[in-house]
Each structure stands twice: as structure tokens, then as C-alpha cells.
Structure 1
């Protein structure tokens, strides 16, 4: 395994992070435990979850992923061997069964954090992330910012002040954001700088061969301000494994079970995926190796969050840590990006 540190901390994290959102629906408790056992054995010491997991979020399975991680901690006693990250859902999650109000008010943060800690059977989180902005922005399927009326009022300072209280109480070590944009990142950094409040260390956004929108502006912000990207969906819901290109039915895959997750299923995404697969095969790589290695080689990426439903998939994903793409391969990738830029916003 290869390691780095969470920016501006001394916390060592694996370049591959275990994503857990399938635990509780696609994966049983025992399967989730087996994945965590195997990942830790392979040197993956960074696990990511969220209060709204498993996905797709619904009342019956709300919090199931955190509960499964919690029972694994209780069974194994390995909490101190894991860098654990979770998230509080914001109003754009639109799931009212989680709590009375989905926002980042003091009451909501305290409630969500305490419930996550209870489910996870731990006293603290290494990283606590705001899962989505309270503002109406950065929506899936939308390129760029489009003004929308909303009731949000500037509360960056207030949110950081509340989180600071939990840092001082020992419930949180560090904080991050998710699905944010450059303006939001800079506003959080500005408030922390001028008011001596906790600094965001990471941003968790989608990044893959089919979605490189992060490079447009957020990458420079993160590089210059030393905020690390935790890249999620590096395989684009499994599309960049190539398994959907055969035309054969895939009955137990995420896109078959949950067709609403069609972000990476457009004709342009399929066309681009075929071209990337040709590049991979030309250089004796699998498409999974090509896609994952591309993400891991970006300087602004702290860790790539992988998700798997089978042990075979998990092993292949972790094995990609040893793949290094040559300049020639990177040029061929960028040539495809120039022809079909970001087909899945």
C-alpha cells in the first residue's frame, strides 16, 4: 500500500480508502466485516462512511452502514488501526426521516454527530464532513453554477464555530466538506483563517475519467491551499470496469438494482468508456487499472475511495495501487478527454 497524510495533519492515510455505502443493502453485515478485514490486511487504513448510508438511502436502512462498521469495531477491537471518516447530511439530501430538520444548525450537528458515534461504537471521528452544501449548488447533472432562489443565509462562521466545539470536546479530530465548489472551499478557509477556527482538511467530490470537472477550478484551490481531494466514484458506479460494455445483463450490479443512478449511463459516457478501454487493452491493462491509476496519480488527490460488492472486485481495486501510467498513456487519455470532455457532470 502507498500512504500520504491528511493535509495539515500528521495522520497517515492509505492512498486507497474503503468506501462502505453498500454495507446494509448490497452487502450483508458479514460481507461488510469481511471487506474491512481484507482491506486492513492489505494496508487500507482509511474507511469512509456517512449517516445517510447505505445507498440508496431509505428509512428502513438509514444508518445501516455505520451500524455494521460499529459491530466490526466491537468484534475486532481495531478502532485505533483505522482512520475513520463520516458525514452529516445537509438539506439537499432531502431525506426527512433522518431528523426533524436537515441543516447544519447547532442542534442538527450535535444530533447527527452523536447518533453517528453511537452507531459506529466509537468516541470520536478522525474526519467529519459536511455531506452537501446547504446552498442550492453543485447539483448532479448540472454543468456550472446556475442561480436558484433559496432561503440560505451566510453561516460559514457559525458552522465552523459549532464544529470547533466538538473538536475541543474530542469528538472530532478534523473536518472536511463534500460536493462543494471553489467558492465554498474558499469561504470556509477564509473564516477559519480570520477567526482561528478549524480548517477544512479535505473535500470529497466525484472524480474519474468520465468526470474531470474538479480540474476546472477546484483542483487549483486545493493544490494551492493544501486541501486534499477524497475522490469518490473513481470507477463511475462501476461503468469504468467495462462490465456494461458487453451488452450482457448484469442483474446484481448497482445500475441494474438501482436504475435511478444513471449519471454515467449516457451515450457519450458509453462512447468514452469504449475508447478508454481500447487504451487500457493496448497497454496490457484492465480498464479498472487504467481508471483507478489515473485518479491516484493526480497531485491534488489525497485518497481514492473505492467501493465493491464482491471480494474479487475489492481485491482488483486495491491491486491498482501498484499501477503507474506512463506519459504516453496519459497523453492518450487526454486526447479522449479533448474529444469527449466530461460526459457525466
Structure 2
């Protein structure tokens, strides 16, 4: 893997029409790719679902594969279980990916977004055997998986499948100790199994590039020249077992910013680590609902409302403001499709009787209605 730890995530590319993610601005992406590779970076990461089905892969082919020699770049693609769930479709799916990316082999190929459910599916459809066979055929150089679940599930996968060479994890300083994401715990499992880590979401979908004013001021006072995003990326890149950090770059300015501190990476100092934790404390201080996600309130809810999930979304908007609102609203709608909406609350009070924190659950649910349903 390239000694430079910055990878180009081909999932948030510049657009010619802001409301349509399939309308990729090829001219700008070409310039971004040129600058990226000009500075000695070479790792690109794509997947079939990115930018609407297949458009990220096609953009990579047109802007990178057709314009640079095959030995000058590294490309990672993924087996996305959201799109393929049948054993007899694997060959066709994989062949289509190679064609769309304009390559004869993938440097890295990952089982996409693995969790407990996808583990069962992957084993049932022979996905592990499939990628092992493609590696033997020379169509894949290295195999691994990206992961979204608990450290316990991660350990189960690595125990069952020691052939996996890499793990791609969501790691950023906001999620490092998060009880749901479990970044630190998952990272430590990878260290235990001696599996190198590729980092995704180091800037938490852009949230850590747009901090609340007081948190941003702490970082600016420590180093006026460094962007908020640079602190987040360097946090992930400073971890010993991390070999690559992906950044979903959307503009030439973001490329230049990333290059400025990643072409000669300096790991965070102890003092910088302390400053970053102070900034995180300032972000968390804006939490509006003191929910601990114990989920006692959910068990007896007659409307099956995922109360802590909605409170987490309220907190994210409170902490990150307008930068988070659109994504939080979309997340709310996705959750509400599978469970009760906040507006379904019949104010029975069961939740408030069960809450160890004695939260005004009914009142906060109404806040969620006002925030996400109006």
C-alpha cells in the first residue's frame, strides 16, 4: 500500500447539478485527480452504490483509469450486499464492476458494510469463497471488508475468516468512544488480529469540518493554519495500525487542504490530542437530550418508537447545527419507515417511568416532531 496515508474516496464528487448526485462534474474531478496524483498519492476507493448506482465507478474510469497508467494508481471496489444477494449473480456483478472501472483487476476488494446480518448472507451466498477465488485468478490483489457493527461481531468475522487481509472502519475523534459506533473497540480488535485498518468517515460525513464556533476557536488558537478537517484526518492517520485514511473530496479546495498536511504527515502530539478532546467536549456540551441509549424506554412502547435514535438525531442537530439538519432529517425518515414516528406517541408515560435519567421523554419526542416532521 502507498506510504502516503491519504486515499481519495470517490463518493462525494463535485456535481454539475447540486440536487442530482448522478451528474458528476468530470472536468473538475479530472483536475482533482491530477493534483492528488501529482503529489504522490495514488489510492482511490469506489463502490457500485456511490453517486447513484454505478456512476462513481464510471467517473473513476473516465477521469483516472483512462488517463493514467495502471501501475500509477490503486483502486478499491466492493461487493455491495444491498445490491446483490444471490450466489449465481456474483460473476456478472464483479465483471460489470471491472468494466465500469476500466480495469482488469482490483488492487483491493472489500465485502461492503459488513454486519451480523450481512455476515450470514455472505456465508450463505459464498461471498468469501468468491473473493478468495478471484484473488487466486489474479482479478483481486488483496481482500478484506468494510464494517459497521459491534466489536463483538468484528471479532466473530475475523475468527471465522482469517483470510481477510484488511478491515475498513469508521474512525474519527467524535466516534472513538461512542458506544454505538465503537471505533476504539473495533480498532483494538483489528490490532489483536493483526489486520491493518483503512479508515472511512474520518471527518464524520463532513460534520467535523464544520464545528460549533467555540470548538473551532479552540483548534484555531492551537494552530491558526490548520483546518478543522485536518485535525480530524490527522487523528485517524496518527493511529499506528492505520494504513490509509479515506477522504470523500468534493472540491479542488478540499484536495489542496488535504494535500497540505498529508503529503508530509505529522502525527498529533500529546498537546494536540488534549486540544482535540477539549474541542470534542465543547461539541458534546451542546447535547440537548441527556439520553444514554439504555433503551429501557423502547421495550414497552406501545407504538414501537425508537426513542433513543430520535434523541440522538436531535443532539446531532443541536451540536452541529444546519450542517447536520438535512442528513438528520433523512435519517429520521429512514428510521420512521421501519418503526413508530415521534408523532405516533400517545403520551402513555411508560417511557418516562422506565427512564433511569428521568428525562421528559414525551416533551423531547414533541421536539423531534417539530424538528423532523414539520
Say whether the fold is shared (TM-score over 0.5): yes
Separation (CA, whole Å) in 2 of partners of 1:83 and 1:154:
25
Alignment RMSD:
2.9
SS in 1 for 2:165: strand
Separation (CA, whole Å) in 2 of partners of 1:204 and 1:153:
19
Q: CA deviation at 1:330?
A: 0.7
Structure (1/2) with the larger helix percentage = 2
Separation (CA, whole Å) in 2 of partners of 1:289 and 1:154:
36
Residues 134 and 221 of structure 1: CA distance in aligned 2, closer, same or farther (over 3 Å): closer
C-alpha contact 1:277 1:286 (8 A) present in aligned 2: no
Which structure would you say has the larger Rg? Answer: 2
Separation (CA, whole Å) in 2 of partners of 1:75 and 1:123:
13
The corresponding residue for 2:28 is 31
The corresponding residue for 2:244 is 303
Gaps of 5+ in 2: 16-20, 286-311, 317-327, 329-374
Separation (CA, whole Å) in 1 of partners of 2:227 and 2:201:
17
Residues 111 and 134 of structure 1: CA distance in aligned 2, closer, same or farther (over 3 Å): farther
Within 5 Å, which residues of 2 pair with 1:282-293? 282-284=221-223, 285-293=226-234
SS in 1 for 2:142: strand
Within 5 Å, which residues of 2 pair with 1:32-181? 32-54=29-51, 57=52, 62-91=53-82, 98=83, 102-103=84-85, 105-133=86-114, 135-136=116-117, 152=120, 155=123, 158-181=126-149
The correspondence for 2:257, drawn from 316, 324, 328, is: 316
Gaps of 5+ in 1: 1-10, 92-97, 138-150, 194-198, 246-272
Within 5 Å, which residues of 2 pair with 1:162-201? 162-181=130-149, 182-193=151-162, 199-201=163-165
Residues 301 and 121 of structure 1: CA distance in aligned 2, closer, same or farther (over 3 Å): same
SS in 1 for 2:66: helix
C-alpha contact 1:117 1:124 (8 A) present in aligned 2: yes
Q: CA deviation at 1:70?
A: 1.2
Q: CA deviation at 1:156?
A: 7.6
Q: CA deviation at 1:72?
A: 3.0
The corresponding residue for 1:238 is 206
Q: CA deviation at 1:157?
A: 9.7
SS in 2 for 1:14: coil
Separation (CA, whole Å) in 2 of partners of 1:153 and 1:122:
28
- TM superposition score normalised by structure 2: 0.65
Separation (CA, whole Å) in 2 of partners of 1:73 and 1:337:
37
Q: CA deviation at 1:334?
A: 3.0
SS in 2 for 1:291: helix
Residues 190 and 312 of structure 1: CA distance in aligned 2, closer, same or farther (over 3 Å): same
Aligned residues: 272
Separation (CA, whole Å) in 2 of partners of 1:153 and 1:68:
29
CA offset digits 1:92-112 (Å, max 9, x no partner): xxxxxx5xxx32x43233222
Separation (CA, whole Å) in 2 of partners of 1:156 and 1:226:
26
C-alpha contact 2:76 2:110 (8 A) present in aligned 1: yes
CA offset digits 1:168-201 (Å, max 9, x no partner): 11111111111243344333333344xxxxx222
C-alpha contact 1:132 1:179 (8 A) present in aligned 2: yes
Residues 114 and 183 of structure 1: CA distance in aligned 2, closer, same or farther (over 3 Å): farther
SS in 2 for 1:208: coil
